[in-house]
A and B are shown apart, each in its own frame.
Chain A
Amino acid sequence: MARKRGRGMAACWYGIARTATIDRAAAWAEIDDGGSAKIVTGVTEIGEGILTVLAQIAAHEIGVKPEHVVIGDNDTARAPEAAHAGASRQTYMIGNVVALASREARKRLVGVMAEMWDVAAETIRTGNGEIWAENTNHRITMGEAVACAKNRGVVPVGSATFGTDTTGIQDGKGGDGSGRPWQAYVFGCQVAEVEVDTVTGEVQVLAVWAAHDVGRAVNPQGVEGQIEGGIVQAIGQGLMEDYQLKDGHTSTSGFAKYILPTSLDVPRVNSIIIEDPDPIGPLGVKGIGEPAMVPTIPAVMNAIYDAVGVRVFDLPATPEKILLAMREKARREAAMAMQAAE
């Protein structure tokens, strides 16, 4: 057989939010005219879908539909700091703080309605654009409730800040690295199935099964999108991408020379979402952006070994390297067979 298949696996762990420092984020929320919600926070949508996640969280906390949530653009002169897009932190840091700010705005609105209806605030429920008091006939739309509040001189707003209980690590001279770099950790495991063409050395990754703990999946499709995208970036690094320098000058300055994964290079990704809720934040969410990439390369390298008995120690595992390693292996085995025969 010219093409051989194999499987490999690898596990991973990752810390959520900024490393070995105190992370923080803030948000403002307003239940607006017509019963929509307005969220202002220094969030940075870089494609992961954080705006949708925040809309879902605000909708859930306030009791409106996600399509009735407006999120203000990130602007240092207009929005409170929510820090950067990175460290797999946005759902954790900004998701949690939007939940807290939304709760405060809701509490303000609920307070007005409790007084008006003469019921205990705890009996008031919100959901799907409506507000009502349990075991009563009181039920109006959120838009009507906002009008009621404003007629009493109250604008239902809330604000919140969320920080982590973390420390630096002892990494100065003579340090042992001890410390509490994160308060939330995630774990994952991936299995890869590959096919190696023993004539060309080319590796195809046919499937990856990816099991990742995300705390709580706000938007499962978005989580899958992060896992699928992360795995494909890792396959790029594992098998083909290579920024090359000679004496400081690159020979890979364009996409004709710098090879990226295309639609024909990608595996079928089977995602398994595990939810082990974070006990500290109000939502139980953690993160997925970066951990999704971590186990893929070793899983693929372990699978290549399973298929053809060669291991690549220096990335990327290009066809040339695989062929060379296979040839060396064959030569070694032939020499050993000769020795055994003598």
Chain B
Amino acid sequence: MVDIRLNATINGRKVSRDAKPHLRLLDFLRDDLNLTGNKEGCGAGECGTCSVFVDGMLVKSCLMPVAKAQGATVDTIESLAKSGELSVLQKAFHKAGASQCGYCIPGMVMAATAALRANPFADREEIKERLGGNICRCTGYQKIFDAVELARDVQNGRLPATALLETDTADGDVIGKSVRRIDAPSKVSGRLKYAGDMIMPGMLHVQVLRSPHAHARIVSIDTSAALAMEGVESVITSADVPGKDGFGVFVHDQPVMAHDKVRYVGEAVAAVAAEDALTAKRAVAAIKVVYEQLTPVFDPDVAMREGAAVVHDYAPDNITKHIPIRVGDVEAGFAESDLVIEENYSTQAIEHAYLEPEAGLAYVDHDDVVTVVSPSQNITHHRHMLARIIAKPISKVRFVMSPVGGGFGGKEDMIYQGMLALLAMKTMRPVRLVYTREESIISTAKRHPSRTNLRMGVMHDGRIKALAMRMVCDGGAYGLSTEGVMRKAAILAAGPYSIPNVRIDTYGIYTNNTPSGAFRSFGALQTQFATESHLDIIAERLGLDPFEIRRINAMRDGATTHTKQTLGSVSLMRALEAAEQASGWEAGAPAVRGETRGDLGHDDVRPSVTLGTRFAAGDTQEAAE
């Protein structure tokens, strides 16, 4: 295809240059002009991280072909703090603590700027609606709303400009003060370079061939056609691993690329390094893999049965990890109980959805040190594992952490760094890999889906006599953090309650599903969801207030845990009292009393959303003040 000549005004400067016609405006800005402040989060117009102004309108630049920008005035995040001085809104983001990982923030700042331009007097609810097209995974949005309200009030003169400044720490004691984040200016201005924003001279681009099958033997891989393509520098498969292949947080059962067989859809099978990403993609399509289908297993309960398909030879029962906890005699406890309640609970797999998809660079430096730059949550462990995989001493392996655009546990796994290192070693050139959102979702870990059976025996006065829990989790195709998740889930399963008889079993099971791994709250979320739901069911049956039943059983100072550890100070009673008081909780058994309770709708409750009514009323611009 013939290049187009693009003439536009970008961040106040005339730009006239050739561009590939298939590019999106986002690619042109980021790759051709190196304006990397605005990010790509989803490539589908859903997340808003790529938001820029085109002729003053807020536009998702991943949805706009570059040719549509012909003659337009385009402003990116870089235009807002051109000389280094942050805009009022950017300062307000800094002051309010509105940025965490920062990856969504350039787009969020653009959307918030547009919101206050559209209505300088927008109230909090209108601000929320105007930011509805921008996803943030870290902050919970509250501090972002605070920031926009602060900027609005400073712009309108309701607050002095000093409201944007640092809280005074002149008395010298800085612990306990809400000191502004030291990394916020780089994030609100888009200056911080994440791995996908970084370029190195002579850099090659990496693309990955992924398995279309959940469980299949690899009969052959033919890379000759891909290697023969112009611009392709290297193609690697499992056969190119020089050392002992295998990574994982607990058990090293996952090869850098599938070895002999694939175990889930999306598993890496081969990788290409080429002069540009498009060539690498075409080369990936030219790799021929012959598979022989194997029987897959998708349900962890089925996988535990005799005769089920085996995912890993080392674990013929498909059990990645079983964790038992035993206290007292649980059956005797049930026999003693006045009331025994049993229920089943289940939780689904969820995606970390950090706004920054996986990305990384690798190169071999002047001292032959294989160096990987990536947003990893655990570079120390990655270095260990990679050294073994590439058969180099630790001193010749170096991991550098690039800014992490959200992790939540999902970036603990060394899921792509091995491929980068191998390609850098093969080509002796810098290589870079940037996942698409779809690649990130299909190939990286999820939160363990769980099925839990819970039985609790209680006395009429609310004392818990016995608790038995069995949880089966789908760990997917590889071990990753499953062992640790099962352990933490089990240790914390019975909640912060003194219970004389406890039996807990958590099982992490191999299947041919997307692997499950570390995810913020690491198993404790699944088990405590069951336990805390169960306590309310029991409280209703016993006519007890939910705070009361928890107080009756609460661990106190010096309590013994279910792993028989003696605790020191236990702050549970303080937490219960604080939440009860702050919420103005009206005591009573949890017996569907929503309609009669008197503690609803306090000042510290937000109004319910009535989306669209404002716009339906035509009340969009210049609200009266």
B422 vs chain A, min Cβ distance (A): 18
CB-based contact A9/B579 at 8 Å:
yes
Instruction: Tell me the B283-339 residues at the A interface (CB within 8 Å).
Output: 296, 298, 322-327
A11 touches B575 (CB 8 A): yes
Assess whether A35 is interfacial by the CB under 8 Å rule: no
In the complex, A19 has a CB within 8 A of chain B: yes
| Neighbour of B181 across the interface among A4, A6, A49, CB < 8 A | A49
Asked if A319 is an interface residue, CB under 8 A from chain B, the answer is no
Q: Specify which of A5, A193, A220 lies most central, judged by the most chain B CB atoms within 10 Å of its CB.
A: A193
Residue of A nearest to B438 (CB): A253
| Cβ A243 vs Cβ B348 within 8 A | yes
Contact residues on A (Cβ < 8 Å of other chain), bracket: 35 or more
Decide yes or no: A276 and B569 within 8 Å by CB, A189-B578, A193-B605 being known contacts. Answer: yes
Chain A residues near B536 (CB-CB < 8 A): 8, 10, 298, 302, 305
Which residues of the partner chain B approach A297 to less than 8 Å between Cβ atoms? 525, 529
* Given A177-B491, A179-B565, A19-B484 contact (CB < 8 Å): yes
The answer, yes or no, to whether A23 is at the interface (CB within 8 Å) is no
Whole-angstrom CA separation of A237 from B448 in the bound complex: 12
Task: State whether the Cβ of B157 lies closer than 8 Å to any Cβ in chain A.
Answer: no
With a cutoff of 8 Å between Cβ atoms, the chain A residues found around residue B564 in the complex are: 176, 178-179
Chain B residues with CB under 8 Å of A232's CB are 139-141
- Chain B residues, CB < 8 A from A237: 347-348, 350, 447, 525
Contact A293 B525, beta carbon cutoff 8 Å: yes
A207's nearest neighbour on chain B, judged by CB, is B605
Q: Which residues of B contact A171 (CB under 8 A)?
A: 322-324, 487, 490
For residue A242, CB closer than 8 A to chain B, the reply is yes
Cβ distance A318 to chain B, nearest Cβ, rounded Å: 10
Contacts of A293 in B (CB 8 A): 520-521, 525
Contacts of A307 in B (CB 8 A): 592, 594
A8 contact set on B, CB distance < 8 A: 536, 546, 590
For residue A204, which residue of chain B has the nearest CB? B608
The reply to whether B135 and A262 form a contact with Cβ atoms under 8 Å apart is yes
- B461 within 8 Å of A by Cβ? no
Interface string of B540-578 (1 = CB under 8 A from A): 000000110010001100000011110111111011101
Q: Does B246 contact A (CB under 8 A)?
A: no
Question: Are the CB atoms of A85 and B407 closer together than 8 Å?
Answer: yes
Q: Please give, as numbers and ranges, the residues of chain A lying within 8 Å of B514 by CB-CB distance.
A: 243, 245, 248, 250
Q: Kindly identify which residue among B325, B585, B594 contacts A5, using a CB–CB cutoff of 8 Å.
A: B594
Q: A234: CB under 8 A from chain B?
A: yes
Residue from the list B298, B381, B531, B537 in contact with A311, Cβ < 8 A:
B537
Residue B2 at the chain A interface, CB threshold 8 Å: no
Q: Which residues of A contact B533 (CB under 8 A)?
A: 10, 298, 301-302, 311, 313
Interface residues of B in 238-269 (CB under 8 A from A): 264-265
Provide the bound-state CA to CA distance between A81 and B399, in Å: 12
Q: Mark A69-101, 1 if CB is under 8 A from B, else 0.
A: 101011111000111111100000000000000
B contact residues around A241 at 8 Å (CB): 348, 350-351, 353
Question: Of all chain B residues, which has the CB nearest A59?
Answer: B174
Q: Determine how close the nearest CB of chain A comes to the CB of B594; give it in whole angstroms.
A: 3
**How far apart sit A55 and B347, CA to CA, in the bound complex (Å)?**
39
**Binary interface encoding of chain A residues 217-250 relative to chain B, with 1 for a CB under 8 A from any of its CBs, else 0:** 1111110110111111110110001110101111
B87 within 8 A of A: no
Interface centre among A45, A247, A314 (most CB of B within 10 A): A45
Contact A191 B579 (CB under 8 A): yes
**Residue on B nearest A179 in the bound complex, by CB:** B563
Contact with A along B368-397 (1 / 0, CB 8 A): 010000001111110100000000000001
Q: A47-B102, A253-B441, A263-B145 are in contact. Are A176 and B325 (CB under 8 A)?
A: yes
Question: Of B42-50, B196-204, B271-279, which stretch is located at the interface?
Answer: B42-50
- With A4-B594, A207-B604 already in contact, the answer to whether A181 and B131 are too (CB < 8 A) is no
Chain A residue numbers with a CB within 8 Å of B602 are 207
A sample of 13 cross-chain residue pairs with beta-carbon separation below 8 angstroms, ordered by A number, consists of A83-B381, A86-B522, A177-B324, A187-B575, A189-B575, A232-B140, A233-B408, A254-B46, A276-B571, A302-B536, A305-B536, A306-B593, A313-B345
Q: In the A-B complex, list the 9 residue pairs whose CB atoms are closest, starting with the nearest.
A: A47-B101, A248-B214, A6-B594, A228-B140, A298-B532, A177-B325, A84-B378, A221-B178, A255-B46
B-contacting residues of A (Cβ < 8 Å)? Answer: 1, 3-15, 19-20, 42, 44-49, 51-52, 55-57, 59-60, 63, 65-67, 69, 71, 73-77, 81-87, 127-128, 169, 171, 175-181, 185-191, 193, 195, 204, 206-207, 209-213, 216-222, 224-225, 227-234, 236-237, 241-243, 245, 247-250, 252-256, 258, 260, 262-264, 266-270, 272, 274, 276, 279, 283, 289-291, 293-295, 297-299, 301-302, 305-309, 311, 313-316
Sample of 9 more A-B contacts, CB < 8 Å, known A243-B441, A266-B140: A76-B397, A86-B412, A179-B565, A181-B565, A217-B176, A220-B176, A266-B141, A302-B546, A313-B343
